[in-house]
Amino acid sequence: MSIPTPEPAWQTAARELIGLGLREDLGSAGDVTTAALIPADQMAQVKIVARSAGVLCGLPVARMVFDELDPAVRFDERARDGDALAAGQVVAHLSGKLQSLLIGERTCLNFLTHLSGVATLTRRFVDAVAGTRAGIYDTRKTLPGWRALEKLAVAAGGGKNHRMGLYDMVLIKDNHLAGWREGGGTKIAGAVRAARERSPQGLPIEVEVDTLEQLADALEGQPDIVLLDNMTVDDLRRAVAVRDERAPGVKLEASGGVTLASVARIAQTGVERISAGALTHSPPALDLAFDWET
């Protein structure tokens, strides 16, 4: 007897969000405009077109919208997630009942424009640090319910995923340190050692610092990663030198106020990771639209 393979987290999230999106649009009365004007048997064709250049993400989710709404709609993909799009490029061709296409249009485009916006902004950050050893990472600054999808979009743009939640990485932040009351050695290194002893085996351990003195303390505990919060470029460069001398196996992550204007300078300091909440909390939507065919 074979055991079914669990579907990926992004598919589970997409199914839940698609159902929510369609219920929001249709309410208890349905699409009253379409019902009043469009015969039930009228057929139509439509192209999904990129109105501006960017990186595509969310096309399988767009297909799922119509699988849920009307499985008879034919959805032919003309591009793939992660593709760089030119303005005017067709990413999919749909055909089926006009009522179904009209009802699903906005929900479909809401997924595509937002996720492609995340992927597009991520690609811009990734391109800005090309030639350095720094990877671009996302954060937990995601819309509730959208995390798996937004992190999928970051990956489509060439970025890397940080922890998914509070359960898959130990990340000791300043508020944890403020509340940790045990003694034993220096405070930050002691917290790292305690976390390593008490957390599930194999989870990576990261600790946040905001000064070079705290960095030296943290390195004594040999975490996997040290997050350098809101440090200047000069201090980041010094932090890399300190790490290289004292604990070369520990990775450094720069975070806090990272922008497209600053990310290249940050990457040139030698850190291995740069995390930016902007990838998911404030990407502009990529302009994609339905172009109707006669």
Active site residue 141: yes
What does the block give as tokens for 179? Answer: 């509340």
Q: How many CB atoms lie within 10 A of CB 46?
A: 21
Tell me the one-letter amino acid at 244. Answer: D
Strand extents, DSSP E, the chain: 43-50, 54-55, 74-77, 84-85, 90-97, 135-137, 170-172, 205-209, 225-229, 251-255, 273-275, 288-293
Active site residue 251: no
Which of 15, 141, 160, 187 is an active site residue? Answer: 141
Choice among 208, 217, 253, 272 that is catalytic? 208
Q: Which of 70, 77, 210, 229 is catalytic?
A: 229
Got the DSSP string for 162-213?
A: --SSTTS-EEE-HHHHHH----SSSHHHHHHHHHHHHSPTT--EEEEESSHH
Q: H or E element: which one contains 121? A: helix 98-128
Contact predicate 202/195, CB 8 Å: no
Please identify which of the residues 173, 174, 265, 293 carries the catalytic annotation.
Answer: 173
DSSP 8-state symbol, 139? -
How many whole angstroms separate alpha carbon 214 and alpha carbon 147? 31
From the candidates 15, 47, 78, 106, which is the catalytic residue?
A: 106
Numbers of helices and strands, H then E, in the chain: 11, 12
Residue 187 annotated in active site: no
Residues with a known catalytic role: 106, 141, 173, 208, 229
